[in-house]
Amino acid sequence: MIKAAEAMVKCLDQEGIRVVFGYPGAAICPFFDALYASDIHHVLVRHEANAGHAASGYARITNKPAVCIATSGPGATNLLTAIATAYADSIPLVCITGQVSTDQIGGDVFQEADITGAAEPFVKHSYLVKDASALPRIFKEAFYLAGTGRKGPVLIDVPVDVQNTLIDFSYPETVQMRTYKPTVKGNPLQIQKICEMLQSAKKPLICAGGGVFLSGAQDELIAFAEKTHIPVVSTMMGIGILPSAHPLYLGMLGMHGTASANTAVHECDVMLLIGARVGDRAVRSPKFLAESTTIIHMDIDPAEIGKNISTDIPLVGDCEAILTAMTEKIGDMPDNPWFAELAEKRKDTSVYASYGERINPKAFLRELSAKLPDNTVCVADVGQNQIWSCNHFGIREGGRFLTTGGMGTMGYSLPCGIGAKMADPNREVVVVCGDGSFQMQMMELATMMQEGIAVKVVIFANTRLGMVREIQTLRYGDRQMAVHLNGSPDFAALARSYGMDAENAYTEAEAYEKMQKLVDSDKPYLLVCHVDPLEPTLS
């Protein structure tokens, strides 16, 4: 017999977990005590939300469920934003929280929060563990649920007395669930129909979303597009499936997307949606689109098909398997003259021309990405900085672009970058954020220094909550309300006080000189690029 808390650690071992992100408290102490005796590496973040975001970064690089931990009550509620973010972005997490002891549940005792209740809208599934002997089964199920089908966060809430109960430990080899059975293989008849539809299309287009990464189907998608010569647009979550400069890639679609991508969406006659849920930022009027276009929708989650856009041919399944089958089936397709017109639109370079003295963030990001290694991971926060990164940070083969396209949670980038770097320490990780979002996460500089990992940080400081300022300028008569970031510290000096190398850049010349330092350094480095408060997102 062993303590259930030890059994929980053994479960993580069995799942191959080497790193966890968390923050302790009384109700989770038995579990931390068991971690003390294990060789799983615990990363102490500085706020529980960041444990979740860091686990998200880790999970996105490994494409396996990652683990975050918080205590009961305020610890658990702090974690909630990260759980909701992972849910919106379909990121596989196993979230472990401590809970007050079983006999106290429901008594409004110290640090009690009904976290399974509060998190219900944002989890794929949750467990409030009352029977310690069920823990091995629950962990097995939780990892399986988080990492299969439509991926997402699973919460395990464990009362402190349950953690201290003695149990017989054996880890189940298989999951036995009579309810949950995700569809993986696509229906062959539908696949045949889709191939025929695409071959008879005049202006076929692929729209690829985050589901392609979750399925690990990047190579399969590229192979399919290259065989058929069908151009590809991506959602924000799908950025990086194709390298930015791939001849068939037209960029991100939607409200903040490229002209070439949006023209393609507007003009295409058949659209193949792959692992994309047609969110409102990507497609503003799905009704209109569906009227003029034949919609083929492939997704692992049946509920996404027909939810936001009506579909002519639905196909439920894992896109890796489906794309492999489709590439085999489909006949050769000739080069499409339509595509040549679209490609022309990509050639407009005016938005990232030099401003001379001032820093053009779009040009800066292009230059920065060109200097960094091919397999760099770029993590963008939320706001103008994010859109600039989406459209201008060039992703090459093997590179990744991470951001929260689904939830748009400010303060995601630095903890996500820390998680990504821990998952693959040899890869360069660069975090891009604004001076607003940086202040929602700057406590994580300490985590980074404590872990001794070299994440690079770029802050575009515009002394505004820029994205909101722009909305106010354009739609509220420029009545700028609650968007001024007066009172900010010198971020470079702050970073230096953590022991990091950090500098300010006010001009283009300075920015490029310091960019080189950032690129050459093998240590953590923070660069504050001061940009114009009125710098627009797109033009």
Ligand X SMILES: Cc1ncc(C[n+]2csc(CCOP(=O)(O)OP(=O)(O)O)c2C)c(N)n1
Binding positions for ligand X, rule: CB under 6 A: 381-385, 408-410, 433-437, 460, 462, 464-468
Q: What value does the CA radius of gyration of the chain take, rounded to a whole number of Å?
A: 24
| CA distance readout (Å), 422 to 62, 232, 373, 453 | 10, 31, 18, 8
Instruction: Determine the length of the chain.
Output: 539
Q: Which of 117, 188, 247, 331 binds another protein (CB under 8 A)?
A: 117
Q: How many residues bind another protein (CB under 8 A)?
A: 18
Return the number of the residue (120 or 280) whose C-beta is nearest another protein.
120
Q: How far apart are the first and last CA of the chain?
A: 65
| CA distance readout (Å), 221 to 337, 353, 384, 507 | 21, 32, 29, 41
120 binds another protein (CB under 8 A): yes
Task: From the list another protein, ligand X, none, pick the one residue 409 interacts with, judged by a Cβ distance below 5 to 8 Å according to partner type.
Answer: ligand X
Is the Cβ–Cβ distance between 221 and 213 less than 8 Å?
no
178 binds another protein (CB under 8 A): yes
124 binds another protein (CB under 8 A): yes
Return the number of the residue (260 or 385) whose C-beta is nearest ligand X.
385
Return the number of the residue (110 or 180) whose C-beta is nearest another protein.
180
Which alpha helices (H) appear in 330-465, and where do they start and end? 337-345, 361-371, 384-392, 413-423, 435-438, 444-451
Return the number of the residue (334 or 487) whose C-beta is nearest ligand X.
487
Least distance CB 114 / another protein (angstroms): 10
Where residue 408 falls (left for φ over 0; alpha for ψ -120 to 50; beta otherwise) is left
3-state secondary structure (DSSP) of residue 298: strand
Return the number of the residue (124 or 469) whose C-beta is nearest ligand X.
469
Return the number of the residue (186 or 434) whose C-beta is nearest ligand X.
434
137 binds another protein (CB under 8 A): no
125 binds another protein (CB under 8 A): yes
Task: From the list ligand X, another protein, none, pick the one residue 145 interacts with, judged by a Cβ distance below 5 to 8 Å according to partner type.
Answer: another protein
Q: Judged by CB under 8 A, which stretch of 296-304, 476-484, 491-499, 519-527 contacts another protein? A: 296-304
Task: Report the distance separating Cα 180 and Cα 24, nearest Å.
Answer: 32
Least distance CB 303 / another protein (angstroms): 4
Tokens of 299: 């997704």
The residue among 523, 454, 412, 537 whose CA lies nearest residue 82 is 412
Torsion angle of the four alpha carbons 209, 211, 213, 216, in this order, in degrees rounded to the nearest 10? -140
3-state secondary structure (DSSP) of residue 525: strand
Task: From the list ligand X, another protein, none, pick the one residue 435 interacts with, judged by a Cβ distance below 5 to 8 Å according to partner type.
Answer: ligand X
Return the number of the residue (286 or 533) whose C-beta is nearest another protein.
286
Least distance CB 4 / another protein (angstroms): 19
Task: From the list ligand X, another protein, none, pick the one residue 117 interacts with, judged by a Cβ distance below 5 to 8 Å according to partner type.
Answer: another protein
Tokens of 384: 């103008």
Task: From the list another protein, ligand X, none, pick the one residue 301 interacts with, judged by a Cβ distance below 5 to 8 Å according to partner type.
Answer: another protein
The residue among 528, 535, 385 whose CA lies nearest residue 457 is 528
306 binds another protein (CB under 8 A): yes
